[in-house]
């Protein structure tokens, strides 16, 4: 992915080549890494509403907040690597659960992969709805 060859996704502008395994301040390489997929009933009521919020927690973070409540995920990188196609499937699985929204938690470092995953999910959804 060209945008990752000199990463300037966030204001840190590390300009590292994540495609070559270099890592910047966020410690992300070119792979998507997620820690948790869940239906979150306990976000603020305006977000969770009735069916809950379809959360996807991304691993690592471009910030280093001293009191991060998810530090194992954000600072220690806890999680598993997935392909962009798998992320698209996760979006669709969350949607199938009729969640009120898809809630991307700390997604900034993966913005371009997420855009690709949304495109794939939209294509798959269109294909599936043509079959109904
Ligand atoms: S996303 Fe990561 S590597 Fe890219 S500029 Fe921000 S901190 Fe640096």
pLDDT digit string, tens, across residues 35-44: 999 999 887 8
* CA distance readout (Å), 57 to 15, 40, 90: 25, 11, 12
- Is the distance from the beta carbon of residue 10 to the nearest atom of ligand 1 less than 6 Å? yes
The pTM is what? Answer: 0.91
Instruction: Report the nearest atom of ligand 1 relative to the CA of 24.
Output: 3
CA distances 7 to 24, 63, 84, 112, Å, are 8, 15, 18, 11
CA of 23 to the centre of ligand 1 (A): 8
42-56 pLDDT tens trace: 878 888 888 999 999
């Amino acid at each position: 992915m060209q945008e990752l060859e000199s990463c300037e996704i966030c204001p840190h502008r590390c300009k590292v080549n994540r495609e070559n395994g270099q890592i910047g301040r966020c410690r992300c390489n070119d792979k998507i890494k997620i820690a948790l997929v869940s239906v979150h009933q306990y976000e603020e009521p305006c977000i969770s509403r009735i069916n809950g919020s379809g959360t996807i927690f991304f691993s690592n973070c471009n910030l280093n907040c001293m009191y991060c409540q998810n530090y194992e995920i954000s600072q220690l990188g806890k999680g598993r690597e997935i392909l962009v196609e798998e992320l698209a499937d996760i979006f669709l699985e969350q949607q199938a659960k009729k969640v009120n929204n898809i809630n991307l938690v700390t997604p900034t470092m993966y913005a371009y992969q997420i855009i690709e995953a949304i495109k794939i999910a939209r294509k798959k959804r269109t294909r599936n709805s043509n079959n109904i």
